[in-house]
Chains A and B, each alone.
Chain A
Amino acid sequence: MIYVETIYETGSKSVAAYDSEAEARRAIEAHHEKAISGEPGGPAGSYPAERVKSALIYDEHPATLNESGLLPVEEVKTQLNDLIEKLSMGGQISNMELAAAVRGLSDPHIMPNDDESAEEFAKRLRQGSQYVAQETGELTGSWNGGGENA
């Protein structure tokens, strides 16, 4: 089974499970064609289909990254030091803020970089994946002028 994160031109994203790239391509092309034809997106009929921008392939659901909440000790030590440095002020630190930040270490979603404005992050997010997990490839299909992947 493969997982495909479809990124729509509207900025919406979805993750879907397919048995093969051919199956994924068939499904995503069908939805893209609905959008081109101005058809509804689903059985509810209450929202329009969305044009597809890209489709990223993963071996596992990208949300399984750190799903158990277990992280390598050395990685936590490094990130903890970074968090303490970032959150401390005047020689003190809020342990509640620190606890919340530590809980976020296992979040599978991308977060803003320290030097990134909200607008820059929103733009980056709109154009790409919402997940930290690295995709294994990108699916080609009618939405990006391609067909079967080489």
Chain B
Amino acid sequence: MHKHHEYTPEIPGHVEFNAVIVFQRYSQLGTDYILGNSGSITPPSSWTVGLSTTAVSSMARNSVWSATVSGTNVNEIGSTTAAGYARQTIARTIAQAGIDWQASTFDNTLSTGGQSQTADQVTFGAFSGAPNPNGANSFEITDGTTLNAGQLYMAGDTAATRTFANGDTEKVTPTVKVG
């Protein structure tokens, strides 16, 4: 079974497909949790969304969150100076809680199809100035609220580097496709 996903950002009337990656933990949920009913490899109580300075091209399936800029580490913005940055949450429900997952849809195309699910849009900010580090190049589906910590599940590049300043917000709409 092959799994892949795509990121569709919130850009009205226009869709961009940016580089994406599925990390080991999400794949492991498909094996150990779904197939094997694991009690330790389980989804989190709530998904969280983070922003990092690291582009997907620098990541690996076994990347980890880290403040150390090295190798395939994923470095979260705002870890030294938050300036308003914090992770946002997506509830583990479908069309029920405030920000959660919309009903999934099916694409029966043999080669590129699968089941897709889009989350409600999350909003970061308002920033009080420049976070440090600044310059978001990707967003991550992760867990927990502690910066540079927690499991990594999926990531996708932002359309361009986002450099934040006082009063800014940022919006991310993740779409996951499993096929």
Residues of A within 8 A of B (CB): 1, 3, 6, 8, 12-19, 23-24, 26-28, 30-31, 33-34, 41-44, 46-47, 49-50, 61, 63-64, 66-67, 69, 103-104, 106-112, 125, 130
Number of contacts between A and B (CB, 8 Å)? 147
Q: Which of B141-179 contact A (CB under 8 A)?
A: 144-145, 159-160, 162-171
Which range contains the number of B residues in contact with the other chain? 35 or more
Determine which of B12, B78, B82, B167 lies in contact with A46 in the assembled complex, contact meaning CB atoms within 8 Å.
B12
Most buried by A among B84, B100, B162: B84
CA of A31 to CA of B92, assembled, Å: 29
- Chain A, residue nearest B86 (CB): A17
Q: Is the interface of B mostly helix, strand, loop or mixed?
A: loop
Q: Which residues of B contact A43 (CB under 8 A)?
A: 162-165, 168, 170
Q: B65 near A: Cβ within 8 Å?
A: no
Q: Which residues of B contact A104 (CB under 8 A)?
A: 92-93
Question: Would B171 and A111 count as touching, CB distance under 8 A?
Answer: no
Among B66-74, B108-116, B120-128, the stretch that binds chain A is B120-128
Q: Which residues of B contact A27 (CB under 8 A)?
A: 83-84, 125-129, 166-167
Determine which of A26, A34, A61 lies in contact with B145 in the assembled complex, contact meaning CB atoms within 8 Å.
A61
Given known contacts A108-B45, A130-B98, is B85 in contact with A14 (CB within 8 Å)? no
* 13 A-B pairs in the complex with CB atoms less than 8 angstroms apart: A13-B123, A16-B84, A27-B126, A27-B166, A30-B128, A34-B167, A42-B171, A44-B159, A61-B86, A61-B87, A66-B45, A107-B45, A130-B91
Question: Would B82 and A109 count as touching, CB distance under 8 A?
Answer: no
CA of A29 to CA of B155, assembled, Å: 31
Instruction: Give the shortest distance, in Å, between B67 (CB) and chain A (any CB).
Output: 16
Most buried by A among B45, B46, B160, B169: B169
Question: Would B166 and A30 count as touching, CB distance under 8 A?
Answer: yes
Most buried by B among A34, A41, A50: A41
